[in-house]
Amino acid sequence: MADDILKQIATCIERGKVNAASPYPPDLKGQDGADELTRKAIDQGVDPNEILTKALMAGMGEVGRKFSENKVFVPDLLMAAKAMTAAMAHMKPFFESGKAKHRDTFIVGTVQGDLHDIGKNLVCMVMEGGGWKVVDLGVDVSTEKFVEALSNNPEAVIGLSALLTTTMVNMEKTVKAIKEKNAKTLVVVGGAPLTDEFAKKIGADKYSADPQTALDYLNKTVAA
Ligand code: B1M
């Protein structure tokens, strides 16, 4: 039962079926989309972590794989992202359910040249759920913008996200500028093409493969 709905959601993400009202893709016209099915799954008591990994991320992984094989194209990725965003709106209260008092400020953004924000938005939800005050600078964030945000919140920690091999290199300049501003500011980096080795090489304090690792690291490292 749970597996069925998870598969249906994954298909909606992969095919970019946002909601029942959406006419795209034509062969799914009139059927429930990622929006309604995610709501239904939550109402049926399916574990939100399973919805995230087995449906949302699985569907996104599939569309990404097909994109690599030239079987789908940028507009398909955009529709998949729209469907994922609609589904994630239902997940927000779950991730925020552990909301506690604000521990500290977490400034986060996707680095310059990079427009991918779904992973970064998940990081925001998990950090907020962990009691952090999140300052989300959005996508395509310049080094100067990160440094300016740090000037306004000198005690904050910083999170940088990148999804492209061509933009992960922009992280190095940003980490350097942050550390020049304040050598003690913690910088966590994440995103699909990154590695632990890369994070060390550019002087970041932590590579985090997923949002929970970032939260656990910061909770442990920054005194409450
Ligand atoms: Co693009 N894209 N994309 N894309 N896209 C990828 C990343 C790609 C791998 C697809 C592929 O080829 N298979 C490829 C990158 C190749 C590379 O560099 N190695 C790619 C490309 C090439 C491009 C364009 C260049 C395509 C073009 O125009 N020809 C273009 C670039 C635009 C730009 O940024 N300047 C482009 C555009 C887009 C869209 C705008 C259409 C859309 C993004 C919409 C949006 O984000 N609002 C899009 C999408 C959807 C994807 C895929 C399919 C999905 C990304 C995603 O949201 N994943 C992606 C292929 C894939 O990943 N399978 C792909 C789900 C998300 C939950 O995972 O973001 O990895 P992820 O986040 C994870 C972790 O990485 C981690 O936590 C999250 C949860 O576990 N994490 C952090 C992320 N940031 C973190 C920060 C942290 C900690 C953890 O601490 C601070």
Angle subtended at Cα 35 by Cα 32 and Cα 40, rounded to the nearest 5 degrees = 75
Is residue 163 within 6 Å of ligand 1 at its C-beta? yes
- Cα of 164 vs centre of ligand 1, distance in Å, is 7
Place of tokens 């964030």: 141
What phi and psi, each to the nearest 5 degrees, are found at residue 188? -110, 135
Is residue 211 within 6 Å of ligand 1 at its C-beta? yes
165-214 residue pLDDT tens: 999 998 999 999 999 999 999 999 999 999 999 999 999 999 999 999 99
Predicted pLDDT at 100: 53
Is residue 126 within 6 Å of ligand 1 at its C-beta? no
Angle subtended at Cα 58 by Cα 191 and Cα 13, rounded to the nearest 5 degrees = 100
Residue nearest ligand 1's atom 72 by CA: 119
Q: What's the pTM? A: 0.94
Predicted pLDDT at 127: 93
Is residue 122 within 6 Å of ligand 1 at its C-beta? yes
Distance CA 215, CA 127 (A): 6
Beta-bridge mates of residue 110? 161
Residue nearest ligand 1's atom 87 by CA: 190
Is residue 54 within 6 Å of ligand 1 at its C-beta? no
Atom of ligand 1 nearest to the CA of 75: 41
Is residue 82 within 6 Å of ligand 1 at its C-beta? no
Residues 6+ apart with CB under 8 A from 70: none
Residues 6+ apart with CB under 8 A from 190: 119, 123, 159, 160, 161, 207, 208, 209, 210, 211, 213, 214
As to burial, measured by CB atoms within 10 angstroms (0-12 exposed, 13-18 middle, 19+ buried), residue 12 is buried
56-108 residue pLDDT tens: 999 999 999 999 999 999 999 999 999 999 999 999 888 876 555 667 999 99
Structure tokens at 170: 């922009």
Predicted pLDDT at 101: 60
